[in-house]
């Protein structure tokens, strides 16, 4: 869901308001996380978690596009690097705090405790300032607007749903009355109730048709604009060579990074005999530290090099994976655990250089009007062509050749992805000049 909704929500952010899309994403994420505490069946949990992915899709592209508006030129990659560090720390903190709460108070309490604070963050996100757009209303006006719109929609729903409500009540009364009589055919009360509800549904649908027709007519212009913006974003990608190299290379490095994260616990457990708890306690902090420092280093270095060379951010994005490939391979091949921590730190340090610079390169070579749309397209492509394939493919190869041999595919894919990104050194200067012009 994260991949599928990243592009359409990015388009909406460019077309309407990135601030509103961010607030929507955070609010939906929080609501569906908290609702996870109330599930009683697997499909309910699946639905809640899928909607969490939709909320996350609304946040990422719009947030990075908004950061790009505030941090232009030399500071952009470092700013996005800080953003990626926040995402990493939040993920690790959520896993640790969620596990602690689940152990002490149960998993339902953990869902509520992690979801509810997000509503405050959604309210704060609705107050973000967008350059060249109307400033946000006050907090009081925002809350009053939400309340007024909610009341108006509730009144309209009650008005249109009156037939269903009344026939449901009539059906319940008749069904209850039939229970008093003896000798009636079995199931007659259920049939009467179902018939009444069906009449109510049909009548309600008939009342909804004119409203839907009017809504469709009013939305035609907006839909056409959204579709046009989508086509503009697609055309921008196809006619910008730098973006093509970034998309293809980004899919390969996403394959490498997320495949490593997904299979690392199983690798340590099978190869080195470590429990999951030991892995998280002894090695998780080193991976997080390496990733955080690498993201900050990559962002700062990319910005520093850009001041001297148009390909500065490109070379940092690709070099991290080219240099990190041998380090990651050594991490997978060693048997001495005393070497594991420095190699783990080095792998995550080098593999996180790209976080700020790669997104900054994408933002550097596209017009401001479609930045969130193009970032949404990048998220869609890199996840579907990258980490959606990595876990099952590594699992399949593991069954055939063993887990260690299968995981060696990951640093290979990362190194190839880094080389593909470096090809953009031949095109990024021209593409940046075209956008400036």
pLDDT band at 411 (very low <50, low <70, confident <90, very high): very high
Asked if residue 167 has pLDDT above 70, the reply is yes
Q: How far, in Å, CA of 81 to CA of 359, rounded?
A: 9
Asked if residue 219 has pLDDT above 80, the reply is no
pLDDT band at 95 (very low <50, low <70, confident <90, very high): low
Q: How far, in Å, CA of 55 to CA of 58, rounded?
A: 5
- The mean pLDDT value for 229-247 works out to 70
- The mean pLDDT value for 381-391 works out to 82
pLDDT band at 221 (very low <50, low <70, confident <90, very high): very low
Q: Of 215-219, 253-257, 393-397, give the lowest mean pLDDT range.
A: 215-219
Q: Which runs of consecutive H residues, i.e. helices, occur in 16-138?
A: 18-35, 42-70, 76-105, 107-115, 117-125
Asked if residue 229 has pLDDT above 70, the reply is no
Among residues 278, 254, 259, the alpha carbon closest in space to that of 268 is found at 278
Asked if residue 187 has pLDDT above 80, the reply is no
Q: Can you give the pLDDT at residue 413? A: 93
Give the model confidence (pLDDT) of 331-368 as tens digits: 888 887 778 888 888 998 999 898 888 988 988 888 77
pLDDT band at 279 (very low <50, low <70, confident <90, very high): low
Q: Can you give the pLDDT at residue 146? A: 55
Cβ-contact 326, 411 below 8 angstroms: yes
Among residues 347, 340, 331, the alpha carbon closest in space to that of 290 is found at 347
Q: Measured between alpha carbons, how far apart are the two ends of the chain, in Å? A: 37
Q: Can you give the pLDDT at residue 409? A: 93
Length of the chain: 437
The two structure tokens encoding residue 163: 């037939």
Among residues 431, 40, 125, 408, the alpha carbon closest in space to that of 260 is found at 408
Cα 266 to chain centroid distance, Å, stands at 25
Angle, helices 42-70/355-364, rounded to nearest 10 degrees: 60
pLDDT band at 60 (very low <50, low <70, confident <90, very high): confident
Q: How far, in Å, CA of 178 to CA of 191, rounded?
A: 11
Asked if residue 204 has pLDDT above 70, the reply is no
Asked if residue 226 has pLDDT above 90, the reply is no
pLDDT band at 414 (very low <50, low <70, confident <90, very high): very high
User: Other C-beta atoms within 10 Å of 77: how many?
Assistant: 33
Cα 277 to chain centroid distance, Å, stands at 27
Q: What is the DSSP letter of 311?
A: T
């Amino acid at each position: 869901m994260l991949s599928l909704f990243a592009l359409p929500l990015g388009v909406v952010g460019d077309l309407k308001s990135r601030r509103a899309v961010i607030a929507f994403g955070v609010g939906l994420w929080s609501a569906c996380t908290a609702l996870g505490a109330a599930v009683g069946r697997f499909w309910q949990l699946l639905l809640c978690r899928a909607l969490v992915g939709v909320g996350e899709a609304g946040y990422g592209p719009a947030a990075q596009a908004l950061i790009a508006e505030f941090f232009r030129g030399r500071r952009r990659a470092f700013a996005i690097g800080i953003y990626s560090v926040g995402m990493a720390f939040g993920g690790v903190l959520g896993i640790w705090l969620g596990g602690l709460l689940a152990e002490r108070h149960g998993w339902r309490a953990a869902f509520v405790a992690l979801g509810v604070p997000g509503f405050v963050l959604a309210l704060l996100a609705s107050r973000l300032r967008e350059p060249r757009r109307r400033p946000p209303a006050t907090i009081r006006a925002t809350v009053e607007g939400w309340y007024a719109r909610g009341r108006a929609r509730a009144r309209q729903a009650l008005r249109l749903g009156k037939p269903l409500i009344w026939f449901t009540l009539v059906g319940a009364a008749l069904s209850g009355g039939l229970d008093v009589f003896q000798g009636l055919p079995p199931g007659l009360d259920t049939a009467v109730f179902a018939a009444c509800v069906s009449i109510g549904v049909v009548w309600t649908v008939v009342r909804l048709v004119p409203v839907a027709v009017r809504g469709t007519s009013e939305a035609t212009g907006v839909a056409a604009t959204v579709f046009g913006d989508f086509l503009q974003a697609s055309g921008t990608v196809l006619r910008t060579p730098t973006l093509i190299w970034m998309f293809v290379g980004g899919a390969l490095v996403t394959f490498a990074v997320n495949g490593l994260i997904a299979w690392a616990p199983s690798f340590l457990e099978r190869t080195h005999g470590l429990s999951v708890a030991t892995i998280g306690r002894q090695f998780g902090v080193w991976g997080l530290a390496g990733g955080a420092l690498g993201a900050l280093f990559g962002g700062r270095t990319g910005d520093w090099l850009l001041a001297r060379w148009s390909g500065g951010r490109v070379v940092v994005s690709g070099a991290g994976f080219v240099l990190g490939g041998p380090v990651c391979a050594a991490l997978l091949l060693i048997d001495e655990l005393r070497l594991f921590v420095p190699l783990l730190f080095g792998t995550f340090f080098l593999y996180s250089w790209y976080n700020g610079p790669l997104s900054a390169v994408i933002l550097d070579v596209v017009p401001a009007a479609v930045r969130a749309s193009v970032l949404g397209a990048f998220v869609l492509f890199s996840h579907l062509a990258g980490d959606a394939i990595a876990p099952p493919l590594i699992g399949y190869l593991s069954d055939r050749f063993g887990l260690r041999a299968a995981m060696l595919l990951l640093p290979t894919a990362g190194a190839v992805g880094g080389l593909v990104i470096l090809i953009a050194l031949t095109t990024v200067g021209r593409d940046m000049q075209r956008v400036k012009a």
